Structures are given as C-alpha cells and as structure tokens.
C-alpha cells in the first residue's frame, strides 16, 4: 500500500499500531510521517528507551532509514516532532482523561485532515492535539471522536 501511494505521488502517514519489530528497512523509505507512541518506538527500534534523549536517538534512527518526519506521542505530556530541521516539542492540552482509547487514532486522523486542508505541520499537530484532548475526556473509541465543529470551537484549558 505504501509503495502504491508513493508511486501515485501521495503523502504517506504511518501510525505503527500495533507495532511490530524486525520490519524490513524498505518500509521506512518514503514515509512522510510516522507517529509511534513511546512503547511503539521501543518496539520499532528493538530496545527499551528511557528519557527524552533516548527517544530522540531512536527517532533519529528512523530518520536515517528514510522516514521524513517522526512524531513521538508522549501521551498527556505532548509530542516530539523530529525531522532534518531538528526537534520541536508540542505540549499537550491539559485535560482530565477519562479513557485514552482511540486517542492516537483520533490524533493521526485529525492531523491528516488538517494537512489535506493545507494547514502547516505545526497547525496540523495542534489540530490533532485538540481532537485527541477532547476524545480522552469521553468513554469509548468511536463514541469519543469529536465533530469538526467541536474541535474548531475547542479552547485549551490552562492548567
């Protein structure tokens, strides 16, 4: 599927959940964005990671294999974006989480939607974070996903 998308000039966004180790190196080339959480990143690189320095090093390994952008989800702490330009941290919107089911899927879908509408990467990340912040305040998977209107009207809580 990735190779077909690339051959058609499409953007490739990979959310490696559930993550698998020992993937062929060919999978990484031409991936525009990959969004592992900390545990998934550990599985992808085949070792335990402790602290931000090791997360950055592991993400850099994926960049060296051909991924263009690595977005490491840090749950309620935020997200690290790594690419050839460096590393940027996006703090999470502070909410009281009820159920984190589907938070990553909600983020990735919202991120992709924002990019498809011409938003910048930073704007797309923030849009995805707003969506997932709303989702974790609700129980369930599909039932927790906010509407576009809810996300557009979301005002982050300053805790």
Dihedrals φ, ψ of 48, to 5°? -70, 145
What residues are labeled active site?
105
List per-residue pLDDT tens for the chain, 159 residues long: 999 999 999 999 999 988 888 888 889 999 999 999 999 999 999 999 999 999 999 999 999 999 999 999 999 999 999 999 999 999 999 999 999 988 999 999 999 999 999 999 999 999 999 999 999 999 988 989 999 999 999 987 755
Q: What is the DSSP string of 115-152?
A: HHTT--HHHHHHHHHHHHHHHTTSSSSGGGPPPHHHHH
């Amino acid at each position: 599927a990735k190779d077909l998308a690339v051959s058609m000039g499409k953007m490739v966004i990979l959310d490696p959940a559930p993550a698998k180790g020992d993937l062929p190196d060919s999978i990484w080339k031409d991936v525009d964005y990959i969004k592992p959480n900390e545990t998934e990143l550990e599985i992808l690189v085949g070792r335990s990671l402790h602290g931000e320095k090791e997360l950055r090093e592991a993400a850099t390994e994926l960049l060296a294999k051909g991924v263009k952008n690595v977005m490491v989800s840090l749950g309620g702490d935020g997200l690290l974006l790594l690419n050839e330009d460096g590393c940027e941290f996006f703090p999470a919107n502070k909410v009281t989480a009820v159920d984190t089911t589907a938070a990553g899927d909600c983020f990735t879908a919202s991120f992709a939607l924002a990019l498809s509408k011409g938003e910048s990467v930073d704007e797309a990340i923030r849009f995805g974070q707003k969506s997932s912040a709303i989702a974790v305040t609700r129980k369930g998977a599909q039932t927790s996903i906010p509407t576009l209107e809810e996300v557009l009207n979301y005002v982050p809580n300053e805790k």
